């Protein structure tokens, strides 16, 4: 690959290591990136040069890597809960810093990629390992760039333009603080009490078209629950939360029929209830 290398370093080529680091469940959402061959010999074919230099390639890398970086800034919710006006949303798109940081922390850069044997199939990275690397990269970058004081101000002084107009926990917490609606006289009920209420439907299993995925998305502990799932179950759940039908999910993930996806969703629901009981939620 090195001898036939034709791309200047200041092109999106420098972000290829980040592309191959993307976990499977995230990569399947990127139509352009998921088509790239996973060995350098095949990638050297002329048709891939135009793809790598395309705006679509860059846009997908930006969105995917930003979603990996955002959770480690210490703000509630996901990147998608915030608008482009939010300073942290913008910082999460600092792609050159993330590429540099990953190479520094893990030694995974363009040179390392090109040093691989041309027929070596690059395996998918472990999601937990990717999160660990990105956490270290983001924390080091915050310290190096001196972003700490600015992030503290953003936490203390959010504004309405920072948030998408969705019913998310991140936005609701902001609105409560913004409008001072947290009343000391509000009577709270613990989830344990709710579980003990025989009329509660918290442990019912809704039909596959029910609102289970919405419930998981709304729960504060959803990230911890999702971390217990396999890569494929994680992909199914996140695609379902994003509004994909079972047929669409089956097509995207390679299942022969959508009934297999329905069965996996039922298993995820049962695992969710088990996890809720195990954690004393």
pLDDT per position as a tens digit, 125-150? 999 999 999 999 999 999 999 999 99
The confidence score (pLDDT) of residue 252 equals 86
What percent of the chain has a predicted confidence (pLDDT) above 70?
79
**Under the phi-then-psi rule, with left for phi > 0, alpha for psi from -120 to 50, and beta for the rest, what region is 146?**
left
In this predicted structure, what is the pLDDT of residue 229?
86
Show the CA angle centred on residue 241, arms to residues 274 and 60, nearest 5°: 125
Least confident stretch, 107-111, 142-146, 203-207, 274-278: 203-207
* Predicted TM-score (pTM) above 0.75: no
The rounded mean pLDDT for the chain is: 82
Whether the Cβ atoms of residue 83 and residue 162 lie closer than 8 Å to each other: yes
At 180, list the tokens: 């001072």
| Least confident range of 17-31, 111-125, 153-167 | 153-167
Q: Given CA atoms 209, 213, 218, 220 in this order, what sign does their dihedral have? A: positive
Kindly tell me if the per-residue pLDDT of 214 is higher than 60: no
Give residues with Cβ within 8 angstroms of 154, minimum separation 6.
75, 86, 87, 88
Across 173-178, average pLDDT? 79
């Amino acid at each position: 690959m090195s001898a036939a290398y034709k791309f200047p370093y200041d092109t999106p080529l420098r972000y290829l290591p980040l592309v191959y680091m993307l976990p499977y469940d995230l990569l399947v959402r990127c139509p352009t990136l998921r088509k790239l061959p996973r060995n350098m010999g095949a990638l050297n074919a002329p048709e891939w040069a135009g793809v790598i230099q395309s705006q679509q390639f860059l846009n997908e890398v930006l969105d995917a890597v930003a979603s990996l970086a955002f959770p480690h800034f210490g703000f509630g919710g996901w990147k998608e809960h915030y608008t482009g006006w939010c300073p942290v949303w913008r910082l999460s798109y600092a792609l050159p810093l993330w590429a540099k940081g990953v190479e520094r922390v893990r030694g995974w850069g363009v040179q390392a990629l090109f040093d691989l044997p041309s027929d070596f199939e690059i395996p998918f990275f472990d999601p937990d390992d990717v999160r660990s690397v990105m956490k270290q990269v983001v924390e080091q970058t915050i310290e190096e760039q001196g972003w700490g004081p600015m992030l503290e101000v953003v936490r203390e002084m959010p504004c309405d333009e920072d948030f998408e107009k969705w019913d998310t926990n991140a936005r609701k917490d902001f609105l409560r603080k913004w409008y001072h609606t947290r009343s000391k006289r509000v009577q709270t009920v613990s989830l344990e009490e709710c579980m003990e209420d025989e009329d509660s439907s918290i442990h019912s299993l809704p039909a596959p078209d029910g609102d289970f995925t919405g419930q998981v998305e709304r729960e504060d502990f959803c990230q911890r629950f999702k971390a217990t799932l396999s890569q494929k179950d994680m992909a199914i759940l996140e695609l379902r939360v994003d509004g994909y039908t079972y047929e669409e999910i089956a097509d995207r993930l390679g299942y022969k029929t959508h009934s297999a996806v329905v069965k996996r969703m039922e298993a995820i629901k049962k695992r969710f209830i088990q996890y809720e009981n195990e954690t004393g939620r």
